[in-house]
Amino acid sequence: MSGFTEVLSRILTSIFEKVLAPILEAFLKSMINLAVKLLKDVFAWVEYYLFTTLLSVVKFLDQAFEFFAGTDRGLVISEGKSTTLIQAVFGMSAIHKLFVMFTAVGIALAIIFSVIQTAKSMSSMTLEDKYPISTVLKTAMKTAISFAIIPLLCTFLLQLSSTLINVFDEAVGEATGQGGLTIDKVLWLDASLNAANNPSWNVNSANAEVLQKIGTTEDPYRYDYLYGGYSYMYTDITKNSSNESNFKGLFSYVGFDNILGIVSAVVVILILTAVLIAFIRRIFELIVLYVVGPMFAATMPLDEGKMYKKWKDTFISKFFAGFGPIIGMRLYMSVLPIICSGKIMFTTQNGMLNSIIQLLFVIGGAYTVYKSQSLFMKILNPEAAMQEEMNSGMGMMLAGFAGSAAMGAVGAGIGGMMGGGQKGGKGGGQKTSDSFEQKNNDSNSSGNEANIPAKPSE
């Protein structure tokens, strides 16, 4: 009986080792691979959702920049006509009433100061005649003219600055021909460079001819989401099956470089917030300077216009300092798509290094936009610029947070390169299928932008 049991045990063991074990091993391997793939997909979906949510914030801040900078006139309606924010604020009746009140007080002070200076002049006539009455009368006349010049100067600067901003904005737009490519779309483009299902349209495997078309109006994969009015937002993609199937036919969530995209978006959000705070502060400072202008004009009989000259220089420099961020933003948006589209490869050996250098360009350019206002102030009014830099605590704090986040991301990227060796691509695990599904022509679209070139054929 024991011999039969031993033979049966050997037979079952042999069957398990030679038949069942390979089957179970293959099954477990496939299940593990499936679980890993599902985890990758889940993490990729979560990362893409977070990334596009941050891009929506970037888009909002970019629109707010146009609003506060005065380059978008359609956002502010005053008395039935479109105007810029600063023109609408200066046109408020409350501001006019305050200005009239301060002007009345200023005139009264100017009369008092003129009487005081006249008394000094009469008392010094018998001595050294340091304050001739003719000088006092000339100063009083200049004071009266200054009261009339202040509102005229404000109106002139408002019209001049608005005209120059619009002319420069249109000139740069025509010269660069960006076709409505905003910061959020550029950041999305940078993250999607290796996310196309067709590897021949990814930066890591594209030939020289295709590489020049990636991110342009000749890109059949990214065209709809950069120029065609389709939304890249995860919430819009998953809103209906048509949008989702269209997106999945073109891109792989796993292929997106979401981590560096998230870092770039966070840094740009912090710096744009600092720029907006600077714009808001500038508007309120201009209002304060405009309203109290007559008080400085009233001091002309006492110091022969020295305080009034400081006020005038500060007022004019504050007006034109706003050109700095506007010019910086337009130049930034003309250079950033070239850097982030993969046309400039800093190295062909390491995709992570390319991503880090592109991230540094994004951060450095955004920080330059923030600092461009103080750059103009240093040229127009160095003393006011120095004082402004000493008092700009909030902007410097946000810029410091942005720099810390950027350095942390760069450090993590370098650590990953040293620990994991060289990587060929920006996103790990992207699909390499040579075929892709036909786009669904019924996908929902938010409306094509004006003057957008025709979509290229695939």
CA dist., res. 327 & res. 337, Å (int): 17
CA dist 329 and 372 (Å) reads: 9
Q: What is the mean pLDDT of residues 5-26?
A: 72
> For the whole model, what pTM was predicted?
0.71
pLDDT, greater one: 291 or 303? 291
Number of domains the chain contains:
2
Residues 274 and 374 in one domain: yes
Mean pLDDT of 309-317: 88
The answer to the question of residue 147 being in a domain is: yes
Same domain, 134 and 216: no
pLDDT value of position 421: 40
Please tell me whether residues 262 and 247 are part of one structural domain.
no
Boundary residue ending a domain (198, 226, 253): 253
pLDDT at site 102: 92
Letter string b/e over residues 155-187, b meaning 16 or more CB atoms within 10 A of that residue's CB: eebbeebbeebeeebeebbeebebbebbbbbbb
Lowest average pLDDT, out of 83-87, 109-113, 419-423, goes to: 419-423
What phi and psi values does residue 39 have, to the nearest 5 degrees?
Answer: -65, -40
Q: Which of 206, 228, 253 is the last residue of a domain?
A: 253
Residues 323 and 414 in one domain: yes
| Residue 157 and residue 89 share a domain | yes
Average the pLDDT over 19-32 and give the result. Answer: 77
| Residue 263 shares a structural domain with residue 160 | yes
Residues 121 and 237 both lie in one domain: no
Indicate the residue type of 233. M
What does the pLDDT look like over 414-425, one tens digit per residue?
Answer: 444 444 443 334
pLDDT tops 50 at residue 439 = no
Owning domain of residue 33: 2-64+187-253
Contact 90, 83 (CB under 8 A): no
Strongest mean pLDDT among 178-187, 367-376, 393-402, 416-425:
367-376
Range with the poorest average pLDDT among 87-91, 132-136, 271-275, 415-419: 415-419
pLDDT tens for 47-64 read: 888 999 999 999 898 888
In a domain? residue 49: yes
The residue with greater pLDDT, 335 or 273, is: 273
* Position 281 in a domain: yes
Q: Do 169 and 199 share a domain, yes or no?
A: no
Co-location of 245 and 284 in the same domain: no
Query: For residue 425, what pLDDT is reported?
Result: 40
Average pLDDT over residues 113-142: 75
Tell me, yes or no, whether 458 lies in a domain: no
Rounded distance, CA 73 to CA 85, Å?
8
Query: Is 80 exceeded by the pLDDT of residue 127?
Result: no
Pairing of strands 76-78, 81-83: antiparallel
pLDDT for 101: 92
Higher model confidence: residue 171 or residue 335? 335
Phi-psi region of 421 (alpha: psi -120 to 50; beta: other; left: phi over 0): left
Tell me if 236 is assigned to some domain. Answer: yes
Same domain, 243 and 369: no
Mean pLDDT computed over every residue of the chain? 74
Shared-domain flag, residues 152 and 264? yes
In a domain, 436, yes or no: no
Q: What is the pLDDT of residues 212-229, one digit of tens each?
A: 777 777 788 888 888 877
Residue ranges of alpha helices (H) inside 19-132 are 21-69, 85-90, 93-124
Tens-place pLDDT, residues 263-273: 889 988 988 89
CA distances from 387 to 265, 381, 391 (A): 31, 10, 6
Task: Judge whether residue 242 has pLDDT over 60.
Answer: yes
Return all residues near 132 (Cβ < 8 A) that are at least 6 apart.
121
Of 239-248, 348-357, 384-393, 397-406, which one has max mean pLDDT?
239-248
Q: Which residues pair with 78 in a beta bridge?
A: 81
Instruction: Examine residue 438 and state whether it is found in any structural domain, yes or no.
Output: no
Tell whether 320 and 387 lie within a shared domain: yes
Rounded-to-integer distance, Cα 59 and Cα 184, Å: 6
More confident of the two residues 27 and 436: 27
Q: How far apart are the C-alpha atoms of 312 and 154, rounded to whole Å? A: 10
Q: Pick from 214, 234, 253: which residue ends a domain? A: 253
Whether 324 maps to a domain, the answer reads yes
More confident residue, 410 or 389: 389
